[in-house]
Amino acid sequence: MSDPSDAVLRAEGLVKRYGSVTAIDGADFDLRRGEVLAVIGDNGAGKSSLIKVLCGATIPDEGTVWLDGQEVRFHSPLDARKAGIETVYQSLAVAPAMDIAGNLFLGRERRRKDLFGTLFRTLDRRGMRQEAQRQLDALGVATVQNIGQLVETLSGGQRQAVAVARAAMFASKLAIMDEPTAALGVRESSMVLDLIRRIRDSGLPVVLISHNMPHVFEIADRIHVHRLGKRVAVVKPDDYAMNEVVSLMTGALRLTESGELVDQKAELNHRPAE
């Protein structure tokens, strides 16, 4: 277990039930400062439900969440956003008919500070475009040449870069990214991973949900393994092989408190009969 004082976001004993189905079964979680934490798990493991609790989309039945050491209770994604948590969803929540700057400030549009802004609520489009360009330049997004370009004309990787840049722009505590490289080609995936790496290096911790194990091992500082509604292990990519981590995810292997891997099937076969 990590030092609680080192955690930006921490949760203990989370439980979420949907009728007779328990989606989260006493799950724990911790995200440290300045890291990329990958969350992996098989389909139905409960990782999506866990992430929904952390970003305010789901209210848990039991358990506690702390942000920077303070207990928090999110009742909506807006609560999490106000607390400094931004989420990039797999469905790419961008507005295709709007330009890049409009998407970066979507829902946070700035009004002009002059009389027109006060009386007619006129937007400060010039200021937003300038700030959007500064943000993309700071993150090293060089594939976007025109900040006024409509998002619908961008490639999949460029659209994902806009969504990731928006999260980095407004997140003050952490960013959660749900399958950010899904359906992207090799080159575009590499661009998005580089962008996540630069966000981490800027000091903003990132939670990465992914099924792509090569991407996880390439970018993650630690890996949270989720199975049957709870965290079963947290490992570092340098300490374990990819196939070993997959075996932890599927339940073929178990991680002991000393960090040793145990074959679950062999352990069961050697268990004395009652």
The model's pLDDT over 115-169, given as tens digits with 9 standing for 90+, comes to: 766 777 788 888 888 988 888 888 877 666 688 889 999 888 888 888 888 898 8
**Distances, alpha carbon 17 to alpha carbons 12, 73, 105, in Å:** 16, 17, 35
**Which are the contacts of 90, defined by CB distance < 8 A and separation ≥ 6?**
178, 179, 180, 182
pLDDT tens per residue across span 198-230 = 999 999 999 999 999 999 999 999 999 999 999
The structural domains of the chain, with segments of one domain joined by +, span 4-92+164-269, 98-149
- Distance (Å, whole) CA 3 – CA 192: 30
Q: Which of 36-40, 110-114, 222-226 has the lowest mean pLDDT?
A: 110-114
pLDDT mean across residues, the chain: 89
**Nearest-angstrom CA–CA distance, 14 and 146:** 44
Out of 3.40.50.300, 1.10.3470.10, 3.40.50.720, 3.40.1710.10, select the CATH number for domain 4-92+164-269: 3.40.50.300
* pLDDT for the residue 86: 94
**Most confidently predicted of 15-24, 108-117, 145-154:** 15-24
Amino acid at 16: K
pLDDT of residue 50: 95
Interstrand relation of 206-209 and 174-178 (parallel, antiparallel or unpaired): parallel
